[in-house]
Structure 1
């Protein structure tokens, strides 16, 4: 039996509405509905509260709801993969940055510009994979937070570009 079906069955057995269950475990009624319909899964804190509310063990909730076990395994895999997210991008960025400043003075400006563009566009795959890993973790994307962060990244990139252009003009 899937976890959503089990939650609904236990809720009906206890003669509770979704709103009442939500109030008892400190989540929204929409969350209860989403869990019961299989749209997403409860977090561990909510599972513990649900187990207490329905007087079940966590084993009963997790083992009978094998979809929950699979969801936890998928999230654990995503967490393990996160450690590799920035490694390649950072190494490539550092190498490109070093190449920019270790070039001989007579290097053509198109080559320097190409390296600078490669340095800046190095961020695109990192952002893409960050979004994918967030999706695997089941997190929604907080656009406001990311906009603030992207403003900072844009400012730093802009400063680096200005420094690079100033460096080119001093040659």
Structure 2
């Protein structure tokens, strides 16, 4: 979304006419109109007054989302030290579960079942990092947890922005079969490199905190961003993506 569109959107959301806003900023109505039609841009003093008036940071005002410092991690990366501490703690719990009668094989079996069933999905969840010059991608393979964590070919992959052909943002709602089906909708960014490689990157929580500004950053790097569903505009308007794309379906009351 361009600056003039952001300025108009904020004015409308705060219920000002162009004349009322001009009076607040001590400028002419024509000046406000030119800003919103892209014929001129506000001065830094005008932008500061607008940010105070709308109670927004400058980044939120001109880029649509708060400033995020790079590197910015999307998702959760595991910490080996935390894993070790957790396993030691679970070993103690396993000993208690064995009735203080330490049986090595039964205790280890309890540990392995817990690690593979509950810990593995948390520790081996893909994540990616927005950096100044590239996107760093960490994707785990299939198999037992220790195989995924120790695999040599699962190191961070760095994809430079100038090597990207395009980026596509896509939200796909899924049909929930029963009331106990809590699987989330698919919300991904498809990254395509100029050499044909492609990655499907999941968006984490609080996507509204970084996606609008990240899209602007990609475009400034010369990367083509496809957003046919106008997801960035929906986020800027504060709409729930779940409710928007599941409109008319029962139970569509979740937040982003």
What is the TM-score normalised by the length of structure 2? 0.25
Say which structure, 1 or 2, has more relative contact order (CA 8 Å, 6+ apart): 1
Richer in strand (by share) = 2
What is the TM-score normalised by the length of structure 1? 0.37
